[in-house]
Amino acid sequence: MRKQIAAANWKMNLTYQQGEKLLDDILGAKIELAPHQFTLFAVPYPYLLMTRSEVQEEQHYYAASQNCYHKKSGAYTGEVSAEMIHSLGINYCIVGHSERREYFSENNAVLAEKVDLCFEHFITPVFCCGESLEIRETGTQNHYVAAQLKDSLFHLPEEKIKDIIIAYEPVWAIGTGKTATTEQAQEMHRFLRSVVASKYGETIADQVPILYGGSVKANNAKELFSCPDVDGGLVGGASLVSADFIEIIKALK
């Protein structure tokens, strides 16, 4: 059975103390997850160890990094490598969030390097893709998103691609309150799965979780997650409010 994932992306929000409280509140809800369901907390670097220790007694809850640098090590002041993240016992990392692509000029080639470094250090990448409003308005979103996948992932061998998590996040829906309709989400997710299948075959494509991101809220999560090819969500704003994120976790199918 394909994994179903609720992934929180705190971005650059919350103090350490607020983060600790939020985790306590969410974990305190004792939500029972099925074996194929899990929750990720992608927190700022300085909170990774705290988050790891908060979740370590739990099953199905894991800390994740929001990013890593695309070089192995060296004179890159202020950057954090995949190896460093791994050395903290963290096994998940978001790669290629649209905010990284936009504000830090991360392109598909750089993201391919990050994906490789993650795998080298036993970290599962949560690889983000998604089109801007401009692209959607010209109707070329499928071509655009397929290129993101091909350029950053298609050099991977089968045994690696089957372990990846993909997150489809239409840029026009992130933080805007404008969610993709279930039809738009399902259509794109099915398409992305077919792109993976075209290179790696149906069996592998069927195993890859594809999360939806972009204004997932407590009141729309269930409907979005009920789409056959939507395997959970990558959640920004609503992951900062315990009551909301608890509902989102409960909406996993």
Q: Are 195 and 146 in contact (CB under 8 A)?
A: yes
Q: How far is the CB of 168 from ligand PGA (least distance, A)?
A: 11
- The DSSP element (H or E) to which 129 belongs, if any, is strand 124-129
CA-based end-to-end distance of the chain: 11
Residue closer to ligand PGA, measured from CB, 41 or 200: 41
Binding footprint of ligand PGA on the chain (CB under 6 A): 9, 169, 174-175, 213-216, 234-238
Residue closer to ligand PGA, measured from CB, 192 or 200: 192
Contacts of 247 (CB under 8 A, 6+ apart): 218, 219, 221
Residue closer to ligand PGA, measured from CB, 166 or 174: 174
Q: How far is the CB of 106 from ligand PGA (least distance, A)?
A: 14
Catalytic site includes residue 106: no
Nearest to 116 by CA among 69, 74, 76: 69
Q: How far is the CB of 146 from ligand PGA (least distance, A)?
A: 21
Catalytic site includes residue 97: yes
Angle between helices 16-28 and 242-250 (to 10 degrees): 40
Q: Are 90 and 48 in contact (CB under 8 A)?
A: yes
Residue closer to ligand PGA, measured from CB, 54 or 99: 99
Which candidate in 97, 121, 131, 247 is catalytic?
A: 97
Q: How far is the CB of 158 from ligand PGA (least distance, A)?
A: 28
Partners of 219 in the β-ladder: none
Residue facing ligand PGA at closest CB distance: 236
Which candidate in 54, 99, 131, 169 is catalytic?
A: 169
Query: Would you please indicate which residues are annotated as catalytic (active-site) residues?
Result: 97, 169
